[in-house]
Amino acid sequence: MDRILIRELVVLGILGAYESEREQPREIVIDLDLFMDLRPAGQSDDLADCLNYDEVITLISEHVATLNRFTVEALATDITELVLSFPRVQKVRVVVQKPGAVDGCRSVGVEIERSRPVTA
């Protein structure tokens, strides 16, 4: 399946279980692979056949900036649900990282993958 790649989306948000992590927004880095059929857009060269990347990025950025989550896993799950709300996206892989969260590591994070439910 074809993929749209969004790399190193940096958003300020509250993410963490410790009080010190919840005092002020910190950088959260997000990578996305959006799986969908890109043939219609490739054949037509028409924006109407494309996924609006800006709309996806804006939705995710606003969500991360306003919703305070305790776990990286919960935030990554939120993001997969947001992305799968776009009808053309069949599957999404999300990586959410917290730079500087653990001493000695550049960042820590999770990667999850979710697919649109198969309808009978």
Distance CA 30, CA 99 (A): 11
Show Cβ contacts of residue 29 under 8 Å, excluding neighbours closer than 6 positions.
8, 9, 10, 96, 97, 98, 99, 107, 109
Residues forming a β-bridge with 13: 26
91: annotated active-site residue: no
- Catalytic position from the list 36, 98, 101, 109: 98
List, by residue number, the catalytic residues.
98
